[in-house]
């Protein structure tokens, strides 16, 4: 058990059996009354964000979450197989835990996997990745970047919106959080 004095950004708390990551915290000492700690917590699994206040000195339960780099190997049915880059040990991560990250996972790509007591909690990708366009309708003469967008399929099979001038085989930078096109990449 820890106390509210141990609350820091990035600490993971166990509240009613669920894991919550501390995004922000503030120790408040009002002129009248007792001190307290105001926190903003994000659920590790669902991503839900809540505000919670604790009295100073209250007991809290912290959890140890190990974030390590893993290399994505292959998909096994609905599950994803990763290899620890340090000791080459393989782990299988269920599809729901991988979530939206599956749209941007290529074989041999490095991702951060958060583990709690050996159980994978979530998979975190870099903010952006480079993908190749595998299919899109051809652009027309005169298409410019401000003329609009069209759907394009990237090499993982996920569909994004790209400017009209982007063609098949073009490497593009994609935001892994939103799926937005960020620009072309020159080789």
Q: State how far the Cα of 154 lies from the Cα of 147, in Å rounded to an integer.
A: 21
Enumerate residues 6+ apart whose C-beta is below 8 A from 28.
35, 36, 37, 38
Residues 25 and 8 both lie in one domain: yes
Domain count, the chain: 3
Residues 56 and 89 both lie in one domain: no
Six-digit token pair at 48? 């839900």
Q: State how far the Cα of 100 lies from the Cα of 96, in Å rounded to an integer.
A: 9
Residues 138 and 176 both lie in one domain: yes
Domain with 162, as residue range(s), is: 128-184
- CATH number of the domain where residue 134 is located: 2.40.50.140
Nearest to residue 28, comparing CAs of 4, 12, 10? 4
Residues 54 and 34 both lie in one domain: yes
**Other C-beta atoms lying within 10 Å of the C-beta of residue 139:** 16
pTM score, whole prediction: 0.72
Q: Indicate the residue among 102, 124, 146 that finishes a domain.
A: 124
CA dihedral over 104, 102, 119, 77, signed as positive or negative: negative
Residues 18 and 50 both lie in one domain: yes
Residues 56 and 103 both lie in one domain: no
Enumerate residues 6+ apart whose C-beta is below 8 A from 106.
72, 129, 131, 155, 156
Q: State how far the Cα of 6 lies from the Cα of 62, in Å rounded to an integer.
A: 9
CA 71-91-69 angle, 5° bins: 35
Residues 103 and 116 both lie in one domain: yes
Q: Indicate the residue among 104, 124, 144 that finishes a domain.
A: 124
Full pLDDT tens readout for the chain, 187 residues: 788 888 888 888 999 888 898 989 999 999 888 899 999 998 887 778 999 999 988 999 988 888 899 999 999 999 999 999 889 999 999 988 888 889 999 899 999 998 888 888 888 888 899 999 999 888 665 555 566 788 999 999 999 998 888 888 999 999 988 889 998 888 6
């Amino acid at each position: 058990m820890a106390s509210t004095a141990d609350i820091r950004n990035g600490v993971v708390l166990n509240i009613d059996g669920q894991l919550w990551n501390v995004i922000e915290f503030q120790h408040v000492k009002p002129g009248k009354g007792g001190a307290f700690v105001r926190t903003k917590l994000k659920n590790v699994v669902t991503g839900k964000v809540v505000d919670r206040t604790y009295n100073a000195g209250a007991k809290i339960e912290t959890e140890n979450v190990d974030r390590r780099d893993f290399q994505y190997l292959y998909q096994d049915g609905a599950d994803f197989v990763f290899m620890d880059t340090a000791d080459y040990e393989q782990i299988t991560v269920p599809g729901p835990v991988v979530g939206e990250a599956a749209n941007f996972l290529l074989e041999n790509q490095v991702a951060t996997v958060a583990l709690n007591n050996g159980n994978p909690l979530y998979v975190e990708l870099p903010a952006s990745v480079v993908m190749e366009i595998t299919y899109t309708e051809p652009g027309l003469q005169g298409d410019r970047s401000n003329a609009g967008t069209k759907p394009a399929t990237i090499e993982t099979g996920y569909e994004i919106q790209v400017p009209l001038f982007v063609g098949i085989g073009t490497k593009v930078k994609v935001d892994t959080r939103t799926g937005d096109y960020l620009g072309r990449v020159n080789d």
